[in-house]
Chains A and B, each alone.
Chain A
Amino acid sequence: MADAGRHPNITLLTQSEIKSVSGYVGNFQVQILKKARYVKEDQCTACGDCVQVCPVLVPNEFNMGLSSRRAIYQPFPQAIPSAYVMDINNCLGYDPVVCGKCIEKCKKKCIDFNMNDQELTFKVGTIIVATGMEVYDPTEMDEYGYTRYENVLTSPEFERLINAGGPTQGQVLRLTDRKPPKSVAFIQCVGSRSQRRGEPYCSNICCMNTVKSTLMLKDHDPDLDVKVFYIDMRAFGKGFEDLFRRSKGMGVRYIRGLPGSIQEDPKSKDLILTVEDTATNQLEKHRAEMVVLAVGVKPPQDMKTIQEMLALQKNSDGFYLEAHPKLQPVDSATRGIFFAGCAEGPKDIKDAVTQASAAVARAVRLMNPKRLRVEAITAEVVAEDCTSCGICAKVCPFRAITVDTRAKTPARVTVAACSGCGTCAAECPSNAIMMHHFTDGQIEAQIDAILEQDPLQRILVFACNWCSYAGADFAGVSRLQYPPNARLIRTMCSGRVSEKFVWRAFEKGSPVVLVSGCHIGDCHYLNANHWTERRVKRMQKKMEKMGLRAERLQLEWISAAEGLRFKEVMEKMERLRQSVTEQEVTETKRILIDRSAVPEQEVQ
């Protein structure tokens, strides 16, 4: 930790927040707000003289309020930077009439009330998001009486109690009588693995953290009565089972079943736990002098700001979503941005550190060549055709397009930020975007060529490169057999499939059309497939209005692993195709040709 504070290549900014990030991989512009510390960071020697004169006393948040601190303070003894910090909201004020005692006391004159917040700007090539996690607040689980009974603690509070540098110098004491407890009970999965309250997932670290705590307790006092109530103990990592066995060997009792409620004995302030032991099916009562709730972890509350600023995605648990869960576990879907530690999901220190080093390797891999090759499949705006409506900028998942809708200047694509999904080209109402390597001309030529012979027999399929086309490949690799009528047109993303491609296919006599892509949430281009979904729905509505059977246009999400699903979709499409008569196709052609004769009002 100290190394990070003094490394010549590291600029450490504490009490700081990211204000904005612009640019793209290789060239991000970052604005940071560094709040005033009111103590000169480079001069304070952490002598602590100031603390002695400060009259203010507030709960120490680092010790979860189990002790107190002054308005000028050091967060914890090993803090980096070690300089003291002024809690300006609680400070009485620098007016010498009111207080200002610390200013006089500090011999080095490093307390400065005139310090201002600073706005700093940096240029960076890559970004690593390591914003970590928060712990669950068990207040809502009222049956455990966390807010009512003083001897019910959370695991972080217990960590501070048993910590040699903590409020009790490492002595575990009851808060009600300041005596060491003779019995301690741990309750697992508080706020984890529940569909009702807290979070549905396993928090990963609390089982082992409890095992650790029981060992520390038994080391302090081998006679202590320690019980752990659990659903199942998860000791899956290297060396974990050893610790678990040691804990049991030292006499810690592991009881399978979570207490339904805790009652406090009003006199002794002991706690009575009612629990059904699911191993014996007995309803039991256990008495403990202290209860520790092994609380789960969850994503930080303020995560949304960073998430939106960097256009990152979250998974259903609320942690950041990696580009690929197995093959790109530390990459985000945005090039040049990586994840490290619990920002991506709950994990222990070893995994957090491993992941950090992996993220560094990925970042260095990009930066080391000093120059970066960018995607060749990119969008380009044809300035003469652009009406500056701003739609492209709105739909681009990578915010690669800038357009000033008020000044009416044509849209511009930042080529290095464009990932090539083609959504902008599909949505531009003025046909002003040229999607290189997947141009209108190229795709329309394919549509025409496919429907040149026996169109009535054909199923025209648009498949995205990453999921549905890969799903078709997987069906092939698995030798699954399906009707031979489908003809695939590959695009990088389903977002590329313009309305006009579909209309053209129907106009050329296609009985059915399938648009397919990655499942929502799995899109290789963040959320481009949301636009696909909206567009297909919009087209289906238009078809209904025109008197066409909307079901002839289908949308399916097929992942790279869903070969079987691909086959089933092909069979479904074939049944659908057989339901379309020649007459229906002729009628469709007529309707569409009539329609294109009248300029259409674009409905957005």
Chain B
Amino acid sequence: MNASASSSATPALHMVGVRKVYRVGDEEVVALDHADLTVAADEIVALVGPSGSGKTTLCSIAGGILSATAGSVVVGGEEISGYNDRQLTTFRQNQVGFVFQTVNLVPFLTARENLLVVDEMGRREGKPARARADRLLEELGLADRAQNLPGQLSGGQKQRVAIGRSLMNEPGLVLFDEPTSALDTELGAHVMELIRTEMKARGTSAIVVTHDERITEYCDRTVRITDGVLEA
């Protein structure tokens, strides 16, 4: 895997020989095998592959939600492969952002509160977090929707709130799991543009999982995955 030419800084993600095996009863499902992937700081990588190929699994391991069965995972210079649950929780609080495959906003919180919940559940900064939430809502064009509940928002607006939430802890790496799958083409393109702008403005790296080849245009590089195996 070649490091991006543009950056000599610590890569946002460096995975070497990562393997993930799920045990279902007596059976073993190899979801990821010998995965080597480096995402440079500031780089946006598209991860493309058919359903069941291991995209979500790879993102979960990179984001410290799942532990790899074998291999080394270094995020922002931090080796997380040996972490216990507690250490992984702290890691997630500080180093990564997620936009999940299904929009998982808290239904009884307003858009702004959905952003602030990251701070409440995590670092508890208070005022700076509130300022950051307002700035993000502004940038994402949601300033006038800040007080709306998710049920009062359109699909695209909800996805934008989810993007805002993923950036609340100022992560070095954001993992987008099919961020546009629930949106129509035009809206999907708009959301991708927004993601690119937000990432580039912050110098944040991202992995964007997608089925859709058109989405890859908004990324710096595309990595393909088939049956748990990565190819450049």
Partners in one complex: no
Name B residues whose Cβ lies closer than 8 Å to a Cβ of A. none
